[in-house]
Structure 1
Amino acid sequence: MRPALPERLRRILDTVASFVVAHAGPLGAAGVGLLAFLAIYGPAALNPTRLSWLIRDDFSQHLLGWLFFRNEPLRFPLGAIDGYLHPLGTTLGYMDAIPWVALLLRPFSSLLPADFQYIGPWMCLCLVLQGASSAWVARRMGATVPQQWLVGALLVLSPTLLARMSMAHEALCAHWAIVLLVGLNLIPHRDAREAKQALGIALALCVFAAGVHPVITAMVLPLALALCMRTALERRLPWRWPLLGAVVNVGVVLVLFYVLGYLGTVRTLGAGAFGGFSADLLAFVNPMGYRESWSRFLGALPRQGAQYEGFGYLGLGVLFALWAALILLVRDAPLVARQWRRLAPVGLVALGLGFFALSSRITLQGELIADLTGLYAPVMRWVEPFRSSGRFVWPLYYLLALGSALALIRLPRPTVAPSLLALALVLQGFDVNLGRGHQAKEGPAWNTQPSEALREAAVGRKHLVLYPPQIHDGSGRGCRAGPMDFHRWAYRAYLLGLTFNSGYVARLDDARAQPYCLGLDDDIRAGKLDPETLYLSIPQRLHEFRAIRGTRCVQEERLWMCVLEQAPAAPLERASP
C-alpha cells in the first residue's frame, strides 16, 4: 500500500493540474513552438554557455553588446556601453542586444559564467509565446481546446517569423506581441472590465516592446492606439479612458526610448537608402527569403535585391484559410459590416503600415510601378530611421493570418471548423521549409582564449586598440580599414577586462567616429602612444610603430601586437567576470 502524499504536496499538485487543464490550449500551442525551435536550431542552441554557433551574421554583434555591458558599471542612459567602440561608446539598443533581458540579467552577472548567451533561449521563448498568444486569442473567441492548438500551431509556422530567426535578427522575433495586439483588437469586449483589461495589456506590450527593438515598438504602438480608438468608438468606457490610454502609450514609449539611449545618444538616426529595403506587392505569395525559398511547392517570384526585408510569405496553409475566410466574408458581409467599430481601427492601422512597407518605390515582382518620393520627401527625416520599411508588413500579415484562422472558428457549422483548421495546418506544415541551413551549426572558432603573450601584455593596461580601426554601422558609416575579424579580438578584450575601439552597431555617430579615426592616425604617426593601451596593427602599418622609440612589437596571429615598454608602475589586472 502506497503512503499518502503530504497534504501540502497534494494541494500543490492539484493546483498545477487545475492550471494545466484551465490553460490546456495555450500550453499545448506553446509546446508546438518549443518543438518548432528544436526542429530548426536543435537543443544545443538552448545551452547558454555555448557561443560558437553565434559567429555568423549579426549574432556576434548582439552577443558582444551583452558581454561588454557585463563589464560596465550601470549608468545613464540605461544600457550605456563605454567599453565597446571606445572611446565613442554605444548602447545595448544600438547593439540590438534586447535591453530588457540584459538589464534583467545584469545583477546576476557575477554569478554567470564568462561565456553566457541568451540569444538561443530568447528565440525559443519567442516561438513558445507565438503559439501561446495565438491560442489565447482563439480561446477568447470561443475556440475549443483542439481548435486553440490548431490556431497556435498555424501561427508558429509563420515563415516571416522563422525567416527572422534564420537572418540572426533575434530582437525582431518578438512577433507574438504583434499577434497579441492584433488579437486584442479582434476580441469582442462584453463589458467595461474587459475593455480596461485590454487597454492595460496594450500598455504593458508597449513597455515591453520599447526595451526590445524600435521596429517592434513602431508596430506595437500604432496597434495599441487602434485599440484605444476602437474602445472610444464602442463606448464601453467613458471617452477619457481611451484618450488617456493613447497619451500614456505614446508618453511611455518616448520616455523609455530616452532612458534606454535610443534618443539623444546619436546625432543622426537616418540610415539612408530608404525605398530599397521594402516589401513587394506580391510579398504575401512570394516564398523567396533572404537566401532561400521557404516553400517546398511554390517557386520564388522576382524581387529587388534588398526586398528580403519585406519578406511576408503566408504559407499555403494560411493562404487556404484566407481563401475560406474571404468566402465567409462575402457571404456574411452584413454581419461583418455591423462590427465596423471593432474591425475598422485595426484594419486601417494594418493597411497604413502595410502601405509604408511598400516605401517610396512601389514594386510588382521587383519592377517599379509607382515612385512616391515626392510624397515622402517632407517627412523623410522621420521615416528614414526605419529604412527597412518592408518589415512593417507584419501587422497586416498577422491580421490576415490570425483573422482568417479565427474566421474558420466562427463557421455556422462548428463541426467543420476543426477539419478546415487541421487541413490548413497540414498544408502549412508540408509547405514551410524548416530545415535548410538554419540549424545552430558550429562556425569557425572565434571565441578562443587570449594567448599567454596577449594576457601578459594586457596586465596593467586598460585598452585594446585595433589599428586601423574597424568601426561601422548598417549604413556603412565609420572607418572600415581595419581587420574584418574584429569579433575575435573584441571577445578577448572582454575576457581581459579591456575596452575595445572597433565594432559594428546599428547606428553610429559619424561626426565623432571620423575625428577619432583620423586622430588615432595622427597620434601614432607622431609617436604618441598611450602606455595603458595595447595596440594590434595590421602588417601594412607595422612600420609606423617600429619607428616609435621604446615600442616593442610581436606577432599575434595575423596581426602585430605593439606596446610602449614604459608600462604603468603599478599594474592592475582587470578580473574577468
Structure 2
Amino acid sequence: MRLPRGAETAAALAIGLACFAVLLGPGVLDPANVAWMQRNDPATYYLGWSFFRAAPWGWPPAANPLFGLEIASTIFFIDVVPLMALAMKATIAPAGGPWQYHGAWLLLCFALQAVFAHRIAALFLPDAASRLLVAALACFAPVLLWRLAGPHAVTGHYALAAQWLLLAAGWLCLRAPTRRQPLAWVALGAVAALIHSYLLSMVLVLWAADALRRWLAARRGGALAAEAVALALGIAAALWLAGFRTLPGGGLGEPGYGIFRANLLTLLDPQGWSVLVPNQARGPGDYEGFGFLGAGGIVALLAALWVVRRDAMPPLPAGHLPFLAAILVLAVFALSNVIGLGHVNLVRIPLPPQVEPLLAMFRASGRMIWPLHYLVLLGAAIVLARRVGPRRGALALAAILGLQVADSARGWLPVAMGARVAGPAWSTPLANPFWAEAAGHYQRLRRIPAGNATPGWAPLAYLAAAHGIGTDAVYLARVAQEPLAALRARGAAMVATGHFDPAEFYVLDDASACAVAPRIDAARDLLARIDGVNVVAPGWHAVRRTPAGAGPIDCAVSAPPGSR
C-alpha cells in the first residue's frame, strides 16, 4: 500500500506525544527538572552526563575522564545515549547547574515508536483508524514501558527506550525495497550505534535478513557487498564518535549470560504488570527477558487465531522468510544456553571456551526477545483488523488498546507518579558543611576499596560533579579490569601504611577505616565518621579544625580487615 498522507503521519506522531504525556508528563521536558532522575539507574545517566558536559572537549570527543579517573570510560559505557549527549554538549547544554535532556529523549522515543508502528500497519491495513490504533498499541507495548520501570529501577534504562529502531528495521524488512534502501540501512545502523549496542546488534541481524531477501530477489551481490562495506564504515565511525573502545585487561564482557535470559513463558508472564494475568514462576535473572504481551496483546493473539481458524494456511511470501528467520534467531539467542520453563531449567548447553567472551558482551541476552514480542503483538492486531474489516477491526483494536492500557496500569502508574516528582534540587545525605569545604579544597574524591557501583556512590559522585572535581565513586556499564585492580591495590597500600595523597580525600568502608585507624597521623590527618560515612582527609588538621558533627570511627562491630 502507499505511504499514508502527511496528515495521518502527523496524527501518529500526536499519538506518540499523547502517550508520553500520560506516562511521563510534560514536567520532565524542563531541563532544570532533575529531581525525577535521582534514584537508581537514572542517577547514573544524569551524573555521568553532568561530568561530561562540564569537562573540556577531549579525544575522542566522548571522553569523560573525571567520572571514574583511572577506571573512567567514555560516555558509551554510561548509557547516556551518546547521540543526545554529544549533540547537547555541542549546542545548548550549560556546563554547570541542573540540566538534563532525558525527558526530551523519551519524548522523541515515543513519537518515533508511534510513527514506525504506523508505517508497519500501513503496509497491511487500508483504513486510517486501524493503523493509528496499532500505533497507540505499540506505545503501550510492555517491553517498552518496562524500560521506564522494572524490578531493578524505579525509572529505568532510557537508552533502551529507543525500540523504535526495531520497528524501523522491521518496516524496512517488510516494505518493498526502494533505491534508497541501502542509504536507509546505513543511516539506521549509524544512529543505533550512537544509542546502544544491544539495539545495534538487533538492527544488524534484521539488516542481514533484508539483504538476504534482496539478494534472493535480484542476485546482485556486488551492490549488497558495497552496502555492507558502507554500513560497516558508518557504524565504525558512529561507535568511535560514541566512545566505544576496548578496555584494558578486559571488561567488555560481564558474567551473566545464561542468567539474564528470556524464559519460555516470557510472552505470558506479566512479572507483576497485569491485574488479570497471573505471574509465572521464573529464574532470578529472567526479568531482563521480559516479553509479556499484555492482556490486550494476548486477547489480540487469541482473537486473530480464532478469526483465521478455518482458513487454509496461506503460503508465506518468500521475501518475508528471511525476516521471520532473523526474529527466530534472535529469540533463540534470548533464551541463552540455559533453557528455562518457569522455574525449571530444561537443558544447559555447554559453550565452547572461544565463544564465551563474545556471549559475555551480550550477557543480557533476554533483551533479544523484543523483535518477537513486536511481531506477535503488532502482527496479531494487524491480522485481526485485516480479517474482520475496517469498521469492526477498528472497534476491536480500540477495545484491545483499552484493555492493554487498563490492565498494565499496575506497572505504568508508578512510573507516571514517579515522573511527576519535579524540581531542580537533588537530595543528598551529605549535609555536613565539611563536604562542600573538602570538595573545594581537594582535587579528587576517592572510594576505598575502589569498585563499580559501590554502596553510596551516587551522593559522592553528585558532590564531585557539583564542585568540578574527579571521583572514582561511579557506576559504569563496563569497567576496565586492569586499572580497577591497580586502583584497589593502591587503596590497600594506603590503608596498610596510613599515608594518603594530599590532593585527595577518601571515603572508606568500615573494614578499611578500622584497619587504618591505628596507622594514621591523627595530628595531621582527619579520620572521622561524618553523615554516616567514614572519611580520611589528609592534612586537614594542619589548617582546619575537626568539623562539627564529626564522630569517631566505631570499630566495635565492624568486619575484620580484608573481609569484603
TM-score range, shorter chain: 0.7 to 0.9
TM-score, reference length from structure 1: 0.83
DSSP 3-state at the match of 2:333: helix
Corresponding position of 1:7: none
TM-fit CA distance, 1:278: 0.9
Relative distance call for 1:316 and 1:52 in structure 2 (3 A) is same
DSSP 3-state at the match of 1:75: coil
One of 458, 467, 492 as aligned partner of 1:521: 492
Relative distance call for 1:224 and 1:270 in structure 2 (3 A) is same
Post-superposition Cα deviations, 1:535-569, rounded to whole Å, max 9, x if no partner, equal 3445734626742663345664223351325999x
The CA distance in 2 between the partners of 1:463 and 1:148, in whole Å, is 55
The CA distance in 2 between the partners of 1:112 and 1:512, in whole Å, is 28
TM-fit CA distance, 1:452: 4.6
Is residue 102 of structure 2 the alignment partner of residue 126 of structure 1? no
The CA distance in 2 between the partners of 1:566 and 1:110, in whole Å, is 39
Corresponding position of 1:463: 444
DSSP 3-state at the match of 2:445: strand
Is residue 222 of structure 2 the alignment partner of residue 240 of structure 1? yes
Corresponding position of 2:517: 543
Higher mean alpha-carbon deviation, 539-548 vs 270-279, is at 539-548
One of 89, 93, 96 as aligned partner of 1:106: 89
CA contact (8 A) 2:54 2:95 kept: no
Is residue 48 of structure 2 the alignment partner of residue 77 of structure 1? no
DSSP 3-state at the match of 2:281: coil
DSSP 3-state at the match of 2:501: coil
The CA distance in 2 between the partners of 1:558 and 1:34, in whole Å, is 44
TM-fit CA distance, 1:142: 5.2
Corresponding position of 1:440: 418
Higher mean alpha-carbon deviation, 421-430 vs 346-355, is at 421-430
CA contact (8 A) 1:229 1:242 kept: no
TM-fit CA distance, 1:233: 2.1
Higher mean alpha-carbon deviation, 71-80 vs 223-232, is at 71-80
TM-fit CA distance, 1:502: 1.6
Amino acid at match of 1:247: V
The CA distance in 1 between the partners of 2:33 and 2:353, in whole Å, is 46
One of 303, 318, 343 as aligned partner of 2:282: 303
TM-fit CA distance, 1:415: 4.1
CA contact (8 A) 1:33 1:127 kept: yes
Corresponding position of 2:292: 313
One of 15, 29, 35 as aligned partner of 2:18: 35
Corresponding position of 2:476: 505
Relative distance call for 1:365 and 1:563 in structure 2 (3 A) is same
One of 141, 153, 175 as aligned partner of 2:163: 175
Aligned residues: 525
Relative distance call for 1:198 and 1:416 in structure 2 (3 A) is farther
Amino acid at match of 2:119: W
TM-fit CA distance, 1:421: 2.4
One of 359, 374, 387 as aligned partner of 1:411: 387
Relative distance call for 1:429 and 1:104 in structure 2 (3 A) is same
The CA distance in 2 between the partners of 1:108 and 1:138, in whole Å, is 36
CA contact (8 A) 1:64 1:491 kept: yes
CA contact (8 A) 2:263 2:282 kept: yes
The CA distance in 1 between the partners of 2:232 and 2:542, in whole Å, is 52
TM-score, reference length from structure 2: 0.85
DSSP 3-state at the match of 1:77: coil
One of 87, 100, 107 as aligned partner of 1:117: 100
Post-superposition Cα deviations, 1:30-49, rounded to whole Å, max 9, x if no partner, equal 33333333333333333321
The CA distance in 1 between the partners of 2:347 and 2:42, in whole Å, is 36
TM-fit CA distance, 1:174: 0.6
CA contact (8 A) 1:181 1:223 kept: yes
Post-superposition Cα deviations, 1:258-294, rounded to whole Å, max 9, x if no partner, equal 4433332352322113211111111111111xxxx21
CA contact (8 A) 1:25 1:136 kept: no
Relative distance call for 1:268 and 1:429 in structure 2 (3 A) is closer
One of 486, 496, 504 as aligned partner of 1:533: 504
Is residue 535 of structure 2 the alignment partner of residue 558 of structure 1? no
TM-fit CA distance, 1:68: 1.0
One of 304, 321, 337 as aligned partner of 1:360: 337
Relative distance call for 1:307 and 1:463 in structure 2 (3 A) is same
Is residue 366 of structure 2 the alignment partner of residue 386 of structure 1? no
Relative distance call for 1:413 and 1:115 in structure 2 (3 A) is closer
Higher mean alpha-carbon deviation, 518-527 vs 66-75, is at 518-527
Higher mean alpha-carbon deviation, 508-517 vs 259-268, is at 259-268
One of 235, 257, 266 as aligned partner of 2:239: 257
CA contact (8 A) 1:24 1:145 kept: no
Corresponding position of 2:202: 219
The CA distance in 2 between the partners of 1:538 and 1:286, in whole Å, is 40
The CA distance in 2 between the partners of 1:251 and 1:445, in whole Å, is 41
The CA distance in 1 between the partners of 2:458 and 2:322, in whole Å, is 46
Post-superposition Cα deviations, 1:517-540, rounded to whole Å, max 9, x if no partner, equal 221231354354333223344573
**Structure 2: runs of 5 or more not aligned:** 151-155, 544-564
TM-fit CA distance, 1:156: 0.9
Relative distance call for 1:280 and 1:41 in structure 2 (3 A) is same
DSSP 3-state at the match of 1:117: coil
The CA distance in 2 between the partners of 1:281 and 1:261, in whole Å, is 35
Is residue 45 of structure 2 the alignment partner of residue 62 of structure 1? yes
The CA distance in 2 between the partners of 1:408 and 1:370, in whole Å, is 36
Higher mean alpha-carbon deviation, 521-530 vs 196-205, is at 521-530
The CA distance in 2 between the partners of 1:108 and 1:469, in whole Å, is 38
Higher mean alpha-carbon deviation, 116-125 vs 350-359, is at 116-125
Relative distance call for 1:440 and 1:46 in structure 2 (3 A) is farther
Corresponding position of 1:185: 173
Amino acid at match of 2:466: L
Corresponding position of 1:572: none
Relative distance call for 1:507 and 1:422 in structure 2 (3 A) is same
Amino acid at match of 1:161: L
The CA distance in 1 between the partners of 2:354 and 2:526, in whole Å, is 56
CA contact (8 A) 1:83 1:498 kept: yes
1:81-100 equivalences under 5 Å are 81-100=64-83
One of 265, 270, 273 as aligned partner of 1:294: 273
CA contact (8 A) 2:336 2:365 kept: yes
TM-fit CA distance, 1:451: 5.7
The CA distance in 2 between the partners of 1:177 and 1:110, in whole Å, is 26
The CA distance in 2 between the partners of 1:70 and 1:182, in whole Å, is 35
CA contact (8 A) 1:184 1:227 kept: yes
CA contact (8 A) 1:531 1:566 kept: no
Identity %: 27
DSSP 3-state at the match of 2:451: strand
DSSP 3-state at the match of 1:464: strand
Instruction: Give the RMSD, CA atoms, in angstroms.
Output: 3.0
Amino acid at match of 1:179: L
TM-fit CA distance, 1:493: 0.8
DSSP 3-state at the match of 1:287: coil
TM-fit CA distance, 1:175: 0.7
